[in-house]
Amino acid sequence: MPTAVISDIHANAEALRAVLADIDARGIDRIICLGDIIGYGPEPLACVDLVRERCAWSLMGNHDFAVLYEPTNFNAVAQAAAYWTREQFDAEPDEALRAARYDFLGRLRVRVVEPIPTNGGDDTARTALAVHGSPRRPINEYIFPSDATDAPDKMEALFDRIEHLAIVGHTHVPGVFTDEPDFYPPAELGEHRTYKFTPGEKAIVNVGSVGQPRDLDPQASYAILQPDGVEFIRIPYDVHKTADQIQAIPQLDNYLGLRLLEGR
C-alpha cells in the first residue's frame, strides 16, 4: 500500500484540503505528516484538526515547536505569526478541544522510523527515517539543494546517519538528494516525476510544502511513497483565497500571503 507524505502545511487549510482530496481520489488511506502544521498561515486550528483526524502520525516542526514552547532563531515576521497562532489555540472556548489540540502538539514526535510499504512477499523490508529537518538536527537543520554542491562534508555526515532512506521537509523545496552527493528536483525525474529506489543506494527525499512552496511553483506539494520509489505531486488550490485571509489578519505580515502567489 502506498503512503502519502505531507509536510509544511503552515496553517494553509485551502491547500491542505486540496491535497487531502487528491489523496482520497487516489484511494490512498495512509497519510503521514513531517511537521510544521502551523505557523505563517491563517487557519492553524483547522489544519491541526485535519492532521489529527487524517494522519497516522505527525512529526514536530520548528514552527509547531515555536507555538507550543518558544520561537528559536525566528525573524520578526515568523515570531509575530507564532504568537498570533498561539492566541488562536488559547482562544478556543471548548476547554476539552483546547486541551486536546495542545496535547496533540505536545505529542508530536521528533523522529520516526517508517517502514517503506512493500508489495507483499518482499523479504528485504526497508525503512525510511522521517524527520522534519535533518537526520542530525531533526527539528531545525536545513538541507538545501545547494548543499549537494557546496557542502559535501555536511552531506556525508547526514548520509552517515541514514540506513536506506530519509524523508524530510523544512526547506519547502521538493526533490531527492543522493549520496554522490547530488540533488534532483522533480522536474528532472521524468514525466512521472518519480524517483526509483536502487538497492544499496541511499537517498534523502524532501517532499516539499503543502502550504508554502518555495520552488517558484505556487501549487501545493506532497509525495507518494511506493515500494519501489517516490512520486512527487503538485496540486492547484485557491492561492488568492489564502493570501486574502492572511491580508485580513494584521498580525500576519502581508508578505506571507504575497509569497504564496509566486511560490517563493
Query: 181 preceded by cis ω (within 30°)?
Result: yes
Query: 117 preceded by cis ω (within 30°)?
Result: no
Which among 234, 206, 239 has a CA at the least distance from the CA of 221?
A: 234
Q: How far is the CB of 165 from Zn ion (least distance, A)?
A: 21
Q: How far is the CB of 172 from Zn ion (least distance, A)?
A: 6
Residue closer to Zn ion by CB (options 8, 215) is 8
Residue closer to Zn ion by CB (options 22, 36) is 36
Please choose, out of 7-15, 138-146, 184-192, 195-203, the segment that lies near Zn ion by the rule CB under 5 A: 7-15
- 105 residue type, one letter: L
Burial group, residue 239, by CB count within 10 angstroms (0-12, 13-18, 19+)? buried
Q: How far is the CB of 137 from Zn ion (least distance, A)?
A: 14
Q: How far is the CB of 31 from Zn ion (least distance, A)?
A: 18
Residue closer to Zn ion by CB (options 9, 116) is 9
Q: How far is the CB of 81 from Zn ion (least distance, A)?
A: 11
Residue closer to Zn ion by CB (options 117, 208) is 208
Q: Which of residues 17-56 bind Zn ion (CB under 5 A)?
A: 36
Instruction: Please give the residue whose beta carbon sits closest to Zn ion in the complex.
Output: 36
Residue closer to Zn ion by CB (options 12, 88) is 12
Q: Does 64 bind Zn ion (CB under 5 A)?
A: no
Q: Does 8 bind Zn ion (CB under 5 A)?
A: yes
DSSP H or E segment with residue 245: helix 239-247
Q: How far is the CB of 184 from Zn ion (least distance, A)?
A: 21
Would you state the cell numbers that stand for residue 115, as one nine-digit string?
Answer: 517502514
End-to-end Cα, the chain, rounded Å = 33
* Phi, psi at 22, each rounded to 5°: -65, -40
Q: Provide the strand spans (E) within 76-196.
A: 111-115, 127-131, 165-168, 175-178, 182-184, 194-196
Residues that bind Zn ion (CB under 5 A): 8, 36
